[in-house]
Structure 1
Amino acid sequence: MLVKTFGSALCGVDALTITIEVSVGGGSKYYVVGLPDNAVKESLFRVESAIRISGFHMPRQKILVNLAPADIRKEGSAYDLPIAIGILAASGQINADELADYMIMGELSLDGGLQSIAGALPIVIQARKEGYKGFILPKQNAREAAIVNNIDVFGMETLSDVINFFSHKEKPEPLKIDTRKAFFDEVNDVEQDFADVRGQENIKRALEIAAAGGHNVILIGPPGAGKTMLAKRLPSILPPLTLQEALESTKIYSVAGKLAVSSSLLAERPFRAPHHTISDVALVGGGAHPSPGEISLAHNGVLFLDELPEFKRTVLEVMRQPLEDRKVNISRAKFSVDYPANFMLVASMNPCPCGFFNHPEKECICAPGVVQKYLSKVSGPLLDRIDLHVEVTPVNFSELSSSAKAESSKAIRERVIKAKVLQHQRFKVHEGLYANAQMNSAMVRNVCEIDETGKNLIKQAMEKLSLSARAYDRILKVARTIADLASSETIEMEHLAEAINYRSLDRENWAG
């Protein structure tokens, strides 16, 4: 007898429906075909044990399992459950009438328990798109899948529960989640707040500008000046995630298998801070079985690289294209996948190996030329993609011991949101463009018009401060964001002056 069940394979952050065809007939061997990997081939051992412990028997006949389409590689253990149900239906032990209405995925333990799977969210989205009545999966993934409406989601604990479902012995109610309520109840929760930071008003201002315009930023300063502490609070002043952004980010975390059991939609903007020993593949994604990297996990959020010069040169260079394209393409011999990577890069670094170059009190002990060599570990093309270079100085005792309450993240976020609204109106005719930092050179000329006085100011700055030519467009973009924060239609002199101040590393001989 031939029976079909339905599962899914992940392709990037999307899913593709897989038909599991099970035939039980004359013979005595088990076969799994359709380009399965080792985890899929081993499934029959888990399936046999789970079926036996659930009170049924494994047919002692030839069992042929075909995973169609056969030219797509099938990976992982999530096909255990649809294979087990297919075998039971094909051998006449359970009713097969409703199998075509449901997508089924889950890994089986030897005792018949169901283990969690990766990618439940994109799978259920694809199931709804193709008109399936419901999705049966492990209970651990049920909340994640239940955020998708117009499809019934059943979280099961064991193979026996699934058998009872199709045998009409026990049919639980589908899990229902009020997606909007669950999302908006948590969307404004922030753990870190700028109100806890004493002093560093100029750094807070720079991060406010970065958040408002989507600009990448690098913080340069001595150890203990607060670079990491300030960077960790950046997500608290970014605009709250929209429902669409939350869905995009949750899909990535779902595919990567990084969603907590109790999670449904991500409500906070991601903040990823990989260690400087990270590899190229771990940062941008890929591997033998491609999975999202840190830059994709930071999609719609912040990627923080602490101690930037300590990262391997090759790791930093592979970020250059994703920073421009806001996506990363992973290509292999037989397939290619795209992962979104629209993130804000925030980096921090010491100005020299000892950390005290340009320190107001402590003396730098680095030898001549060492500072420049240290800074040169970060390439010019990468710095070219960072709009704001901010020098961080230590906080003095009077500011540190002050009892005055600092401005809260909520107040700063309100100004950032107002500036974002202006940018959305400005770029509404340009698909995929949402922030000043994303403008190309042609748009900069149109959007960031300045008068002759402004041009003279930039000219003088480039000559006196020895700014590089690449700084010109960056200055105009940042000045446009500063003007947006001030609700100004035009870029004024003070906006340009402030923007020029954020180009420290473009100054020739900055490191002596």
Structure 2
Amino acid sequence: MYSYLYSAVIHGVKAEMVKVEVDISRGLPGFNIVGLAGKTVRESAKRVRSAIINSGFEWPVKKITVNLAPGNINKYGSHFDFAIAAVLLECSGQIKIKNKNKKIFAGELNLNGNLNHVKGVLSMLLAAGENNYLEAIIPAANQEESLLVKNLNPYLINHLRELDNLENSAAEVNKNLNSNEKSVLNYPDISEIKGQKNAKKAIITAAAGGHNLLLIGPPGCGKTVLAESIVKLLAPLNRKELLETASIYSINNNLEELNLKKRYRPFVAPHHSITSAALIGGGHIPVPGEISLAHNGVLFLDELPEFKNSVLANLREPLEKKKIKIVRQQGSYYFPANFQFLAAMNPCPCGFAGVKNRKCKCSERDIVRYQQKLSGPLKDRIDLQIEVLPLKKDEILLKESEADNINYNQQIKKARKMQAERYQNTEIKNNSELQLKDIEKYCQLNSSCDKILSQAYQRLKLSVRGYIRLMRVARTIADLNSNPQIKESDLIEAVDFRWYAEKSEMLL
């Protein structure tokens, strides 16, 4: 007797369809799984047998062979339990599954037949939809992932017994996404932050133009809060971005960290003790790292010089190519990593170099060595580098913020609209992607601006990269001010933002 059903396996962040075949024949009773099955899949034999018996079905006392096709792809994951059990029951004539060519099965079985939540279901459902599958039979615990896929009808199952009358016994699908507000970080609103007028402008500019940003200042001046406030300034995830991001979180089994209802972009802030594998992804069977969890969102590195140099060096490729390639013996894996990079650091090891009324204990050599931990290639990828100063007494005691009456989100929205119209026939999405040839086309200056740029070039000793970064920021500031052409005030503000960066480069 022969039968088959379909499941899937995760490869990187995408899923590939797998045909689960079963042959029951005469011979010495046994259960064998072939088709490059991993250890977790091979262990499913014991789980499947106990689940079938404890669910009131009969275990065929015959020779049972399970094949996972295609045979050239490594299969891993406990989600194959459900498909193997279902096809075994169908093959032995105990249940009947209609339209099995259009169904996909995924779920982990307990010994009593209950189905557990499995990770990576969203990627499997998306792959099934792309391959014209119409129905998905998955654990009820994976309901939230099923609601994100529109072209697939989900059957939510709690127990293996429900396969006996699938259409009538499947759990009813709740059509509303449950936004778990308690598990989502409550991001601050920029209008609630006191003082820091210059730093707020930098955050707004970074949010409007997609610029990478470095905040430099003493401990306690509000760098982390300022960085977190960018989440509410960024545009919500569109449907495509939401599916891409949610797929990655589903694979890492932490989908609850995303606010699916408000569609906030992810804000990932790993500790400085993180390893390279945890940051970029890795493992025997590679899984996405922190930079992939920040895909379509923000990666924030606090205390930047405290990260290992080898870890920071791994950021160069994803910042440039928007993805990371990991090579293992069983194949190559590509993980998406299109994130906006934010970082914060102290000006020196003690944190108080250049701060009024605070004595710095560091020598000049210590300061230089500390700042040199941030390599040149990484600094070249940061458009904005801002000095954040401690708040004054009047700013701390101020009851109402001066920014309360300013609609920053509306201002940023208008700036993004200008960028979308300007670059509609190009591959450029925002001002942070402008190269030298693009600047000559989209950042034309009048004679007054040319004069200001010439003075800035001499004073700041701008390099070509410095010039590109300056003009990117000037273009975004002009968009925030609704100026089709860059004006003198826009360029002056951009020069002001570049001052600390060029000053630190001259120091080094």
TM interval, shorter chain, is over 0.9
**Which residue identity does 2:494 align to in structure 1?**
A
Look up the equivalent residue of 2:474 and give its one-letter code: A
Distance 1:98 1:266, change over 3 A: farther
Cα offset for 1:124? 1.4
Q: 1:83-482 maps to which residues of 2 (within 5 A)?
A: 83-165=84-166, 170-172=168-170, 175=173, 177=175, 191-260=187-256, 267-408=263-404, 411-431=407-427, 433-482=428-477
Of 327-336 and 108-117, the range deviating more from structure 2: 327-336
For residues 241-295 of structure 1, what are the alpha-carbon distances to aligned partners after superposition, in whole Å with 9 as ceiling and x for unaligned?
2222222211221222211399766711110000001111211123221211111
Report if aligned partners of 2:246, 2:258 keep a CA contact under 8 Å in 1: no
What per-residue deviation string (whole Å, max 9, x for no partner) do you get for residues 392-429 of structure 1? 00001111111123425981111111100000111111
State the alpha-carbon separation in 2 of the partners of residues 66 and 102 from structure 1.
Answer: 18
Tell me, what secondary structure is at the counterpart of 1:230? helix
Helix, strand or coil at the partner of 2:248: helix
Residue in 1 aligned with 2:26?
A: 26
Secondary structure, in 3 states, of the residue corresponding to 2:491?
helix
- Is the 1:326–1:343 Cα contact (8 Å) retained in structure 2? yes
- Name the % identity: 39
1:199 is paired with a residue whose SS is: coil
Secondary structure at the aligned position of 1:456 is classed as helix
How far the C-alpha of 1:64 sits from its partner, in A, is 0.4
CA gap 1:509/1:389 in 2 versus in 1, 3 angstroms: closer
Distance 2:423 2:476 in 1: 13
Residues 1:224 and 1:101: Cα distance change in structure 2 (over 3 Å): same
Contact persistence 1:313–1:377 (CA under 8 A): yes
Aligned partner letter, 2:14 = D
Residue matched to 1:486? 481
- 1:264–1:218 distance in 2 versus 1, CA, 3 Å: closer
Partner of 1:38: 39
* Cα distance in 2, alignment partners of residues 283 and 40 from structure 1: 28
Distance 1:456 1:75, change over 3 A: same
Give the TM-score taking structure 2 as reference length.
0.94
Q: Is the 8 A contact 1:465 1:508 kept in 2?
A: no
**Helix, strand or coil for the counterpart of 1:369?**
helix
Counterparts of 1:124 and 1:84, CA distance in 2: 20
Instruction: Work out the CA distance in 2 between the residues paired with 1:473 and 1:324.
Output: 15
Counterparts of 2:354 and 2:408 in 1: how far apart (Å)?
30
Task: For residue 478 of structure 2, give the secondary structure of its aligned residue in structure 1.
Answer: helix
Equivalent residues of 1:237, 1:410 under 8 A apart: no
Deviations 1:200-248 (A, max 9, x none): 1111011000000000000000000000111111111112222222222
Gaps of 5+ in 2: none
- TM-score for the superposition, normalised by structure 1: 0.93
For the structure 1 residues 80 and 409, does the alpha-carbon distance in structure 2 shift closer, same or farther, using more than 3 Å as the test?
farther
**How far off its partner does 1:468 sit?**
4.0
Q: CA deviation at 1:443?
A: 1.1
Cα RMSD after superposing both structures:
2.3
Paired residue type of 2:417: V
How far residue 101 of structure 1 moved from its aligned partner, in angstroms, is: 3.2
Q: Deviations over 1:118-172 (max 9, x none)?
A: 221221122223232310111111221122223211111111123331xx6x333
Whether the 8 Å CA contact 1:437–1:477 is kept in 2: the answer is: yes
- What whole-Å deviation, never above 9, does each CA across 1:350-397 have from its counterpart, x for those lacking one? 000010011022121101311011000010010000000000000011
**Residues in 2 aligned to 1:113 and 1:409: alpha-carbon distance in whole angstroms:** 55
Report the residue type matching 1:430 in the other structure: T
1:121–1:251 CA contact under 8 A, matched in 2? yes
Long gaps (5+) in structure 1: none
Q: Name the aligned partner's letter for residue 73 of structure 1.
A: N
Figure out how many residues of one structure are paired with residues of the other and give that number: 503
Instruction: Give the C-alpha shift of residue 39 in structure 1.
Output: 0.2
SS in 1 for 2:6: strand
What is the distance in 2 between the residues matched to 1:408 and 1:31? 67
Maintained 8 Å contact 2:187/2:228: no
Question: Partner of 1:8 in structure 2?
Answer: 8
CA-CA distance at 1:96 after TM superposition: 4.1
Secondary structure of 1:233's aligned partner: helix
Distance 1:140 1:262 in 2: 17
Query: Is the Cα–Cα contact under 8 Å of residues 147 and 178 in structure 1 kept in the other structure?
Result: no
AA in 2 matched with 1:109: N
Structure 2 SS opposite 1:18: strand
CA distance in 2, matches of 1:245, 1:410: 29
3-state SS of paired residue (2:479) = helix
Note closer, same or farther for the CA distance 1:242–1:409 as it changes in structure 2 (3 Å cut). Answer: farther
Please list every run of at least 4 consecutive aligned residues from structure 1 whose deviation after the TM superposition is greater than 4 angstroms.
261-266, 508-512
Paired AA for residue 487 in structure 2: E
For the 8 Å contact 1:235–1:269, the answer to whether it is kept is yes
Structure 2 distance, partners of 1:397, 1:359, is 15
Deviates more, 1:458-467 or 1:281-290: 458-467
Q: Provide closer, same or farther for how the CA distance between residues 508 and 264 of structure 1 changes in structure 2, counting only shifts above 3 A.
A: closer
CA deviations 1:40-67 (Å, max 9, x no partner) are 0000011111111111222221110000
- Whether the aligned pair in 1 keeps the contact of 2:156 and 2:170 (CA below 8 Å) is no
Tell which deviates more after alignment, 487-496 or 62-71. Answer: 487-496
Q: Deviations over 1:4-24 (max 9, x none)?
A: 011011223322110000111
1 CA distance for matches of 2:449 and 2:344? 31
User: How far is the alpha carbon of 1:450 from its aligned partner?
Assistant: 1.8
Distance 1:199 1:263 in 2: 29
Q: Indicate if the aligned counterparts of 2:2 and 2:23 stay in contact, CA closer than 8 A.
A: yes
Distance 1:173 1:56 in 2: 21
